[in-house]
Structure 1
Amino acid sequence: MSTFEELVEEGASAPVEGWDFSWFAGRATEERPPWGYARLVGRRMAEVEAGLDVQTGGGEVLATIPTPPPRLAATESWPPNVAVARRNLAPLGATVHEVADEADLPFPDGSFDLVVSRHPTMTRWDEIARVLRPGGTYLSQQIGNGTMRELTVAMMGPVPAGTARDTGRAVAAAEAAGLRVVDLREVALRAEFFDVGAVVHFLRKVIWTVPGFTVDAYRDQLRAVHERIQAEGRFLAWSRRFLIEAVKPDDPAGAPRPAS
């Protein structure tokens, strides 16, 4: 059986580029949302002329679509992920643009029939609305409030849950940008970590769970998590997801006005 130090070193040395989570096989599990985001995106992309994936990561989800539209683009902010995405999406003929998450999108108004985004760090609703064509759709699976809070508390102690990822805020922001929300679903999903190395790798990869995480800064807390896993067989946490779909009205005159 691996020691605490050996497990921590494994988690600390595993590469974090892209959004491929296959490293966790046998070490951690997380339930999948029931709506099947990747399948939804695949079906929608096959029906449009122009599609965009915002904050694509390494392009892992977009790369699974069976039939790409004639024009396909993606954005990503982290340079190592940009290189991975360009490699993964080249077979689809997609262009990948390096764009900061908070920046304007580098596309003309009304460029896309469909914009998608999986787990964006933030959503520029005004830019989504701008690059959508009238009648176009934004489809996004997002991280909900309190996701993996059990890990955050184990590392940082009690912290406020926050409201930045509240579904009500997302709906209000979409409507303020002139979009009409046509679907909204929420779910809580069971996640289990079976060794502390998986915890370390997850915290390095999903950096907003414990901002500024390093092994050295949190070694004592990691040891406590290790001992808990040894005693209980796993560390249990809950991830929260929501699916939001919003449409840009065909008649802009009938749409809500963006907030000033």
Structure 2
Amino acid sequence: MEFDALVAEGLAVPVEGWDFSWFQGRATEQRPSWGYARLLAGRLAGARSALDIQTGGGEVFAWALEQAACHPSRLTATESWSPNAVLANHRLGQLKVGVVRAADDEGLPLRDGVFDLVSSRHPVELVWSEVARVLRPGGTFLSQMVGPGSNRELYEFLMGPQPDDPSRSSQVAAADAAAVGLQLVQVQEEALDVVFFDVAAVVHFLRKVPWTVPDFTVDRYHDRLAALHAQLDQEGQFLCHSQRYLIELRKQ
């Protein structure tokens, strides 16, 4: 397919929610060995109340709830972006989850010490003092987070060499959490293969995960996208690596 047609296709796909099924046959991403959603399902089965922060369209939280042996009696999720909140309300409402609008970088509109379990998959930003505040003593925080340099090969192809953001490291997360009384239980880290097979998948990915290239537009990166299209035509794929870590904390 021609470059312009592929770019137009990547621009036309809706970006709401965390459903990545459109990428089938166009891109692949290796999954972490720890199986975050399965772990979350196990934690949910043992909790009386649970909160999922930055739930997106509620896809992962809903799956984990459906797999859990039993559900907490109190279930809440937060989401900041209105289109995602609409999807989450529809999906999670069927599972009796209350969805609350909350900014990623501000306080949670929830009472102190309410939740046995707080979870978040790929949070944009966490206010650790708020996570600690809403957890009960002895409560658990479980998250799969994006580490520094995730998909470096892709964003540096477009932007040139970039420094890592040290604030995204597991060491910084553990230290910030410890400062508000959250004790580290475990952390695991992995680099995972991400493979793109056409430029439409790249365009859609960069729209759906906008922090990868924060100023991304097709016009701004037209020439580099054209160069990537030419490389894909020649080599058949573009390989990069996502950085993921699992972190589990307990409120002292």
Q: TM-score, with normalisation over the residues of structure 1?
A: 0.94
Work out whether 1:220 is the aligned partner of 2:223.
yes
Report the identity percentage.
56
Match of 1:198 among 188, 198, 201: 201
Q: 1:136, 1:92 → 2: CA distance?
A: 22
Output one character per residue of 1:9-28: Cα deviation in whole Å (capped at 9) or x when no partner.
Answer: 00011000001000100000
State whether residues 74 and 94 of structure 1, in contact with CA within 8 Å, keep that contact through their aligned partners in structure 2.
Answer: yes
Work out whether 1:126 is the aligned partner of 2:125.
no
Output one character per residue of 1:108-167: Cα deviation in whole Å (capped at 9) or x when no partner.
Answer: 110100000000001111100000001100000000010011111111111112212111
- Higher mean C-alpha displacement, 15-24 vs 62-71: 62-71
Map residues 94-133 of structure 1 onto 2, 5 A cutoff: 94-133=97-136
SS in 1 for 2:100: strand
How many residue pairs get matched? Answer: 248
Unaligned segments of structure 1, at least 5 residues? 250-260
Output the amino acid matched with 2:57: G
Output one character per residue of 1:183-206: Cα deviation in whole Å (capped at 9) or x when no partner.
Answer: 000000000000000000000000
Output the amino acid matched with 2:148: N
Aligned to 2:55: 56
Q: 1:97, 1:224 → 2: CA distance?
A: 43
Output the amino acid matched with 1:90: G
Output the amino acid matched with 2:90: R
- Higher mean C-alpha displacement, 186-195 vs 150-159: 150-159
- Higher mean C-alpha displacement, 192-201 vs 84-93: 84-93
Work out whether 1:244 is the aligned partner of 2:243.
no
SS in 2 for 1:26: coil
Output one character per residue of 1:35-83: Cα deviation in whole Å (capped at 9) or x when no partner.
Answer: 0000111111111110000000000001112243111000000000000
State whether residues 68 and 92 of structure 1, in contact with CA within 8 Å, keep that contact through their aligned partners in structure 2.
Answer: no
Work out whether 1:145 is the aligned partner of 2:144.
no
Aligned to 2:45: 46
Aligned to 2:17: 18
Output the amino acid matched with 1:6: A
SS in 2 for 1:102: coil
Q: 2:32, 2:229 → 1: CA distance?
A: 28
Match of 1:186 among 186, 189, 214: 189
After TM superposition, where is structure 1 displaced by more than 3 Å over at least 4 residues in a row?
Answer: none
Q: 1:161, 1:117 → 2: CA distance?
A: 22
Shift of 1:219: 0.7
Output the amino acid matched with 1:200: V
Aligned to 1:208: 211
Q: 1:19, 1:177 → 2: CA distance?
A: 30
Q: 1:39, 1:73 → 2: CA distance?
A: 19
Unaligned segments of structure 2, at least 5 residues? none
Say what the alpha-carbon RMSD is for the aligned residues.
0.7
State whether residues 179 and 248 of structure 1, in contact with CA within 8 Å, keep that contact through their aligned partners in structure 2.
Answer: yes
Shift of 1:222: 0.4
Output the amino acid matched with 1:181: L
Q: 1:134, 1:161 → 2: CA distance?
A: 35
Aligned to 1:75: 78
Output the amino acid matched with 1:165: R
